[in-house]
């Protein structure tokens, strides 16, 4: 089972615009950041979901001079799309939905955005030196003198250090444990053609999983071992509709995956199991236990 967390199917996503700067000027929220080193500095945060707001608040609490958080959207995502399909019928049977329905729901989530927790927003907003930039994607970033400068639709913003709260990508070929056979794994783009208006290259790169969260073969018969690898990380999102590996998926997916693994192991060794269940067994008791109670018809009296 691949219970490898958010970074387990491609790693942290760092926008190219940030990679253009020397590494000493930026970090991703998946990295170990010593926030104490940001004291007195101007910090830029890219992203507007939970990890971005948490990083912004941590920098402010550590004494950053100011923090500027940059969101691409004109308003923060506030529509909890995933939550509305959490009732038992949809939760329990999501993996059995038609492909078009599952894709539409994944696309709808992507368009609505990942909502930051209200308390995470409040934690950052409580600081007067926190500044939220809406509708402000970075178009480029460069060094001007000794400081980095971001170019946004709102103009240029200089800073000392940037934190990317930009989530994770799904790129199976980037995972060392999958690299040798990633090209054999069936992806959503191999199985489903979305309608106009719902095309999404990021979602298309997710693996198309079987009912037990197992990888499927892109070419049947060429990589049969894939059925023995079960995915319990967010790469299962399009197939099963939740951030798999996070708390909301535990009740449904841990029993489902373990049951499939148990079944597969049992059937793989069926001959020995069949011999066992057809083998000799000892009786629980013998006839002597009930012999005194066995009814017998009365014998006729002997003639004189």
Strands 140-144 and 147-152: antiparallel
pLDDT of residue 6: 87
What was the pLDDT predicted at 263? 96
pTM over 0.85: yes
pLDDT by 10-residue block (mean), the chain, 304 residues: 91 95 97 97 97 98 98 96 90 96 96 95 98 97 95 96 97 94 98 96 97 97 97 97 92 96 96 96 96 92 70
DSSP readout, 160-227? SEEEE---B---GGGSTTTTTTGGGB-BHHHH--PPTT---HHHHTSB-B-TTSBB-BSSTTS-GGGG
- For the record, the structure tokens of 85 come out as 């399909």
Q: Compute the 3-state secondary structure of the chain and give helix, strand, coil in percent, each to the nearest 5.
A: 40, 15, 45
Identify the bridge partners of residue 12 per DSSP, sorted by sequence position: 168
Question: Does residue 147 contact residue 182 with C-beta atoms inside 8 Å?
Answer: no
């Amino acid at each position: 089972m691949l219970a490898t967390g958010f970074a387990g199917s491609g790693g942290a996503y760092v926008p190219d615009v940030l990679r253009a700067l020397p590494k000493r000027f930026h970090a991703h929220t998946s990295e170990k950041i010593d926030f104490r080193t940001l004291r007195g500095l101007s910090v830029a945060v890219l992203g507007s979901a939970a990890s971005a707001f948490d990083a912004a608040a941590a920098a402010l609490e550590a004494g950053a001079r100011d923090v500027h958080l940059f969101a691409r959207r004109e308003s923060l995502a506030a529509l909890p799309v995933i939550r509305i399909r959490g009732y038992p019928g949809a939760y329990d049977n999501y993996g059995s939905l038609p492909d078009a329905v599952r894709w539409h729901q994944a696309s709808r989530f992507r368009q609505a955005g990942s909502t930051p927790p209200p308390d995470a927003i409040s934690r950052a907003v409580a600081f007067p030196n926190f500044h939220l930039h809406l509708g402000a994607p970075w178009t480029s970033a460069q060094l001007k003198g000794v400081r980095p400068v971001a170019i946004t639709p709102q103009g240029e913003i200089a800073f000392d250090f940037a934190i990317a709260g930009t989530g994770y990508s799904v790129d199976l070929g980037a995972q060392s444990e999958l690299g040798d056979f990633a090209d054999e794994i069936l992806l959503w783009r191999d199985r489903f053609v979305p309608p106009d208006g719902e095309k999404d290259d990021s979602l298309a790169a997710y693996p198309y999983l079987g009912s037990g969260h197992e990888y499927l073969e892109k070419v049947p018969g060429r990589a049969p071992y894939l059925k023995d690898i079960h995915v319990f990380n967010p790469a299962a999102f399009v197939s099963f509709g939740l951030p798999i590996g996070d708390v909301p998926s535990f009740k449904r997916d841990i029993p489902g995956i373990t049951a499939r693994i148990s079944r597969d192991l049992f059937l793989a060794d069926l001959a020995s199991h069949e011999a066992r269940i057809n083998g000799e067994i000892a009786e629980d008791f013998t006839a002597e236990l009930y012999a005194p109670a066995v009814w017998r018809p009365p014998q006729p009296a002997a003639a004189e």
